[in-house]
Chains A and B, each alone.
Chain A
Amino acid sequence: MNVWPLKFRELPDGSMLFSDDAGRFFKADDGFLDRYATDELSVADRSFLKEGSHSFDREFDLPWTSFAYRWSQRQSRPEKMNYVILVPTLRCNLACGYCQVSRAPDSARGFDWSDETLAGVLLFLGGLEGPDIKVEFQGGEPLLRVDLLETVRDFCREKFSQSRFVVCTNLQKLDTRAWAFLDADDTFISTSLDGDRTTHERQRTHDDNVTDGFFRNLEQAVARYPKGKISALPTVDVANPPDFDALLDNYERYGIRSVYLRPINHQGFARKLDQGDNVLARWNRLHSEFIDLLIARNHRTGRFMEEYYFTQCLKRVLRFDTNNHVDIRNPNFFASDYVVIDYDGRFYPTDEARMLSRIGRIDLGIGDVATGIDQRKVEALNSGAFNHFDPDCIHCAYQPFCGTDVVDDISRYGRIDVPRPDTWFCGRHLSLFDKAFEVLYRKDKPTRASLAAWLGVAAWDDGMAPVHS
């Protein structure tokens, strides 16, 4: 019997977690670790490892094949470009303190697509093979140029058999034409809602009347559109976090059950904000407490809400097919299935790369609509876009579930070869996966009910998370 290599990690509660490269995992005690390390596995150990597909007898037998299948499925292999993030204007009618992209004032000139850029964007879209496309309109405030949005949408509807549009809008000022644009069934709304009214006003609107305007439009949109049409994200200032109970109440009030809790982004001008010391540790604690709060709230109300990214991490642990989120997948090759086109027609591999370039830190542009995508630069970025051979990751029990973030590394450290454990990405994900495993192995009823809801199953009970005892 050959045992696939196991990696292990002591969890915060003192228990020991083991995983293999294909993402099968279990908990066992120190005694097992000793026997494994000294090659003195017992009959019971061998039987457990065999049943769990952690071993094989010969090449191409069923356990070998299933391991190979699982490993290959965990590799993200986007095959075609089918998602574009478009920034038709950098102008915005708000001035948020933590704005990530240094928006331009509402009345500024030269921050919208020119006619040539629009033509270039359409030419680029026209060259995609299809049959499906997702277009996300970012800004600035994209609805300031609803005419450009209409042109792109008309073009895509004609060119692709399936198309979907998301408008990332602050919902601040909507005229009849903007509402008409949003009315279409293939068009969705993504907005920012930073928590309760006080937090939202402090961080974003700064003025009572402006805040009123936003909530009026949000209420109207919720009343007007079916469930699932509107999503929202809160940006959380770790130095001044919102009241999470009030945040969840507010989200639920607007029919939004999924909350993607995001720290203030480090890529843009927000990096200058002083968030105090130990931001990472404080963020991790805040996030962990939020998960516990969610579980307790779900149990209390019987109505299940989720933290989107945490659910994503849970699925990354349990399943081998959760490669659809660009923030966590491995490899995370750039400009393979999605790309950003800025207000000046330049391509960027991610929105964060766009922000980082905009502040002049480094040029992560990868070409423009006139000349096409610069594959040489993409390949340079891709050389660090996976965790398979990282000298720290190869020892980490969370490697098969985790990913990489080259752009975040460049943003924070100016290089991509900083030892993993010293990076924000690693620190955040170690904490997230610690929490994920803590939750997966809990036995209390409220946790199990939330887990079942987040994973889309009827019940989560004993035996769902494997233990070798």
Chain B
Amino acid sequence: MIPLRIKIEADADHPFVIRLRSFEGGSWQKRPERLNPFDVALQHAGPEGADYAGEGGSIRVFGIDPSEVDGDVLLVNPRRGTADRLVRSSSPHNTFLVTERCDQVCVMCSQPPKKHHVNLFPYFETAALLAPEGATIGVSGGEPTLFMEQLFAFLARVLEKRADLSFHVLTNGQHFDEVDRDVMVSLDQSRILWGVPLYSHDPAVHDQIVGKPCAQERLLENMAFLCRVGASIELRTVLMQPNAAGLPRLARFITAMLPFVRIWAVMQTENIGYGRMNWKTLFYDSSAGFDAIGHAIDFVRSRGIDARLYNFPLCTVPEIYRHLAPATISDWKRAYRKECDGCSLRTRCGGFFEWHPRDHGYSKLGAVQ
């Protein structure tokens, strides 16, 4: 698995953000690109670690090849002796976890909420400004919009300073309000994709899944709001036993009530967090029963709304739908099983979650020749 946190040594008291530049021996001085004050350049690499220094501070990095972290943006925590790779320059999967607080308790949550919150927005802002050209940065939680003011300010400043960057913000859609209209309209919505979950057309099913009474009612009011402010919406539906049979009804609901969503993502469950605890009652074996899913995505696509299958190993999807299943499992969470050996689809398949259980998953899978 790709490490998101690495061991470091730094002579400082407080956390700070830096960007690693892994070209050695001062040769950076001859390179055409200008170094940013947050850049630290590689001074020396050896078995004892890699030393970086620059205006932003100095740091020793352990256990990772400098060539793998060139351009990475780190949040360094000197006291703990660790650094979080906030932006991995070679990866399209960079997400800022802005809080672990949440007002919903979804039965399949992969990142169960915690009460404690530390405001890291200033570090995230610095990190975003150091991201590679054209990057899309994920913003997730917990529920990011619990800290709406900081979130809006962060988005506004970064979008203004970096015209090349885009954001993918995951939110439960519970906290928008008419008073947010002016700010939302002022943000460049063409560069923000709001990922919002809806699990069922039936309020009772949705509310039960998210563990919050009247959540669907509030969500749908806010969906109308998001439409009116011109937000781009990725509607996300995690496929589970409680909602799988209702997928065709949900598809009809989407075409009737939510025609403005840019894309509908039907997503497979992740076996971690609450998802692992409730796995037996949640996991829906789509390899054994794809009809309702197929009908649902055909229906919305016939109405001109794009639909995609996220986190589905290609071998579990009927061939005619495979072009709708991009490799969405983040690189650092992705694994291939021994059944994948020799599969002709492997290069374009997202594989499995690293923690997908060996014995409690798909009944039909295996290499496609």
Distance to closest chain B CB from A463 (angstroms):
7
Interface residues on A, range: 20 to 34
CB-defined contacts of B224 to chain A, threshold 8 Å: 60-62, 64-66
Q: Are B303 and A319 in contact (CB under 8 A)?
A: yes
Distance to closest chain B CB from A151 (angstroms):
35
Interface centre among A63, A457, A460 (most CB of B within 10 A): A457
State the B residues within 8 Å of A (CB): 220-221, 223-224, 227-228, 248, 252-253, 256-260, 294-295, 298-299, 301-304, 318, 320-321
Q: Are B304 and A463 in contact (CB under 8 A)?
A: no
Q: Are B257 and A320 in contact (CB under 8 A)?
A: no
Q: Are B304 and A322 in contact (CB under 8 A)?
A: yes
CA distance A69 to B257 in the complex (A): 10
* Interface residue? A52 (CB, 8 A): yes
CA distance A458 to B318 in the complex (A): 10
CB-defined contacts of A44 to chain B, threshold 8 Å: none
CB-defined contacts of A452 to chain B, threshold 8 Å: 298
CB-defined contacts of B304 to chain A, threshold 8 Å: 315, 318-322
CA distance A53 to B298 in the complex (A): 20
CB-defined contacts of A318 to chain B, threshold 8 Å: 302-304
CB-defined contacts of A321 to chain B, threshold 8 Å: 304
CB-defined contacts of B260 to chain A, threshold 8 Å: 65-66, 69
Say yes or no: A51-B256 contact (C-beta < 8 A), given A457-B298, A457-B301: yes
Q: Are A463 and B256 in contact (CB under 8 A)?
A: no
Distance to closest chain A CB from B296 (angstroms):
10
> Which of A62, A315, A464 meets B257, CB within 8 Å?
A62
State the A residues within 8 Å of B (CB): 24, 51-53, 60-66, 69-70, 73, 315, 318-322, 452, 455-461, 463-464
Q: Are A65 and B228 in contact (CB under 8 A)?
A: yes
Say yes or no: A456-B301 contact (C-beta < 8 A), given A61-B224, A65-B224: yes
Query: From B300, which residue of chain A is reached at the shortest CB distance?
Result: A457
Can you name 16 extra interface pairs (CB under 8 A) apart from A51-B256, A60-B228, A62-B258?
A61-B224, A63-B256, A63-B257, A64-B224, A65-B227, A65-B228, A66-B256, A318-B303, A318-B304, A319-B303, A456-B301, A457-B298, A457-B301, A458-B318, A461-B298, A464-B298
Distance to closest chain A CB from B303 (angstroms):
6
CA distance A322 to B303 in the complex (A): 10
CA distance A61 to B304 in the complex (A): 23
Distance to closest chain A CB from B295 (angstroms):
7
Q: Are B227 and A464 in contact (CB under 8 A)?
A: no
CB-defined contacts of B258 to chain A, threshold 8 Å: 62, 66
CA distance A269 to B298 in the complex (A): 46
Q: Are B294 and A66 in contact (CB under 8 A)?
A: no
Q: Are B252 and A51 in contact (CB under 8 A)?
A: yes
CB-defined contacts of B294 to chain A, threshold 8 Å: 458-459
CB-defined contacts of A460 to chain B, threshold 8 Å: 298, 302
CA distance A62 to B295 in the complex (A): 25
CB-defined contacts of A51 to chain B, threshold 8 Å: 252-253, 256
Q: Are B301 and A70 in contact (CB under 8 A)?
A: no
Could you pull out 10 A-B pairs where Cβ atoms are within 8 angstroms? A24-B256, A53-B256, A61-B221, A66-B224, A73-B259, A458-B294, A461-B295, A463-B295, A463-B299, A464-B298
Distance to closest chain A CB from B184 (angstroms):
15
CA distance A15 to B176 in the complex (A): 45
Q: Are A463 and B248 in contact (CB under 8 A)?
A: yes
> Which of B227, B253, B259 meets A320, CB within 8 Å?
B259
4 closest residue pairs by CB, A with B: A319-B304, A53-B256, A65-B224, A457-B298
Query: From A54, which residue of chain B is reached at the shortest CB distance?
Result: B256
Distance to closest chain A CB from B307 (angstroms):
10
Query: From B295, which residue of chain A is reached at the shortest CB distance?
Result: A461
Distance to closest chain A CB from B172 (angstroms):
17
CB-defined contacts of A315 to chain B, threshold 8 Å: 304
CA distance A66 to B257 in the complex (A): 5
Say yes or no: A69-B259 contact (C-beta < 8 A), given A60-B224, A318-B303, A318-B304: yes
CB-defined contacts of B248 to chain A, threshold 8 Å: 463
CA distance A457 to B301 in the complex (A): 7
CA distance A66 to B223 in the complex (A): 10
CA distance A73 to B224 in the complex (A): 16
Distance to closest chain A CB from B252 (angstroms):
7
Q: Are B221 and A62 in contact (CB under 8 A)?
A: yes
CA distance A455 to B252 in the complex (A): 17
CB-defined contacts of B257 to chain A, threshold 8 Å: 53, 62-63, 66
CB-defined contacts of A459 to chain B, threshold 8 Å: 294-295, 298
CA distance A459 to B292 in the complex (A): 12
> Which of B220, B299, B303 meets A62, CB within 8 Å?
B220
CA distance A61 to B224 in the complex (A): 7
Interface centre among A52, A65, A452, A456 (most CB of B within 10 A): A65
Query: From B252, which residue of chain A is reached at the shortest CB distance?
Result: A51
Q: Are B303 and A52 in contact (CB under 8 A)?
A: no
CA distance A318 to B253 in the complex (A): 15
CA distance A258 to B298 in the complex (A): 22
CB-defined contacts of B252 to chain A, threshold 8 Å: 51, 463
CB-defined contacts of B221 to chain A, threshold 8 Å: 61-62
CB-defined contacts of B295 to chain A, threshold 8 Å: 459, 461, 463
CA distance A452 to B318 in the complex (A): 16
Q: Are A66 and B303 in contact (CB under 8 A)?
A: no
CA distance A397 to B233 in the complex (A): 31
Say yes or no: A69-B227 contact (C-beta < 8 A), given A51-B256, A63-B257, A461-B295: yes
Distance to closest chain B CB from A314 (angstroms):
9
Distance to closest chain B CB from A412 (angstroms):
33
CB-defined contacts of A322 to chain B, threshold 8 Å: 304
CB-defined contacts of A69 to chain B, threshold 8 Å: 227, 259-260
CA distance A24 to B259 in the complex (A): 11
Distance to closest chain B CB from A102 (angstroms):
41
> Which of B228, B253, B256, B299 meets A464, CB within 8 Å?
B299
Distance to closest chain B CB from A68 (angstroms):
9
CA distance A112 to B321 in the complex (A): 51
CA distance A319 to B258 in the complex (A): 13
CA distance A24 to B304 in the complex (A): 13
Distance to closest chain A CB from B179 (angstroms):
15
Interface centre among B220, B224, B228, B301 (most CB of A within 10 A): B224
> Which of B228, B256, B320 meets A52, CB within 8 Å?
B256
CA distance A464 to B320 in the complex (A): 18
CA distance A322 to B305 in the complex (A): 12
CA distance A355 to B21 in the complex (A): 65
CA distance A459 to B299 in the complex (A): 9
Distance to closest chain B CB from A240 (angstroms):
37
CB-defined contacts of A463 to chain B, threshold 8 Å: 248, 252, 295, 299
CB-defined contacts of A455 to chain B, threshold 8 Å: 301-302
Q: Are B302 and A70 in contact (CB under 8 A)?
A: no
Distance to closest chain B CB from A440 (angstroms):
10
CA distance A320 to B300 in the complex (A): 12
CA distance A258 to B295 in the complex (A): 26
CA distance A51 to B301 in the complex (A): 19
CA distance A452 to B221 in the complex (A): 34
CA distance A452 to B259 in the complex (A): 21
Query: From A463, which residue of chain B is reached at the shortest CB distance?
Result: B248
CB-defined contacts of A461 to chain B, threshold 8 Å: 295, 298
